[in-house]
């Protein structure tokens, strides 16, 4: 079982546990009185910066 993070269109953060073999189904927010559509949050791998000097200068 893996935990997936979803973000409700109203801003709620929802964690859903689902078997990795289970197909992704349409989900709605579980917050009371919400029922908003959920958007899967693809969390980026945690990056650890060692030292300084690797900041993007933006653009
Ligand atoms: Zn919601």
Q: What pLDDT score does 13 carry?
A: 92
Calculate the dihedral angle through the C-alpha atoms of 14, 20, 25, 31, rounding to the nearest 10 degrees: -20
Token pair listed for 13: 């953060």
Half-sphere exposure of 30 (CA within 13 A, CB side): 9
Q: State residue 57's pLDDT score.
A: 62
Residue 26 CA, chain-centre distance (Å), reads 15
How close is the Cα of 20 to the center of ligand 1, in Å?
Answer: 24
Neighbours of 6 (CB within 10 A): 18
Summarize pLDDT for 6-59 with one digit per residue, the tens: 999 999 999 888 787 877 677 899 999 999 999 988 876 666 666 666 565 665
Placement of tokens 């060692």 in the chain: 50
Query: Separation of 39 CA from ligand 1 center, angstroms?
Result: 11
> Tokens at residue 2, please?
């893996």
Residue 18 alpha carbon to ligand 1 centre in Å: 19
């Amino acid at each position: 079982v893996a935990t997936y993070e979803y973000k409700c269109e109203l801003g709620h953060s929802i964690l859903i546990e689902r078997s990795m073999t289970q197909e992704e189904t349409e989900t709605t927010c579980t917050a009371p009185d919400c029922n908003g559509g959920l958007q899967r949050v693809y969390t980026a791998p945690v990056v650890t910066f060692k030292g300084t000097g690797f900041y993007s200068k933006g653009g």
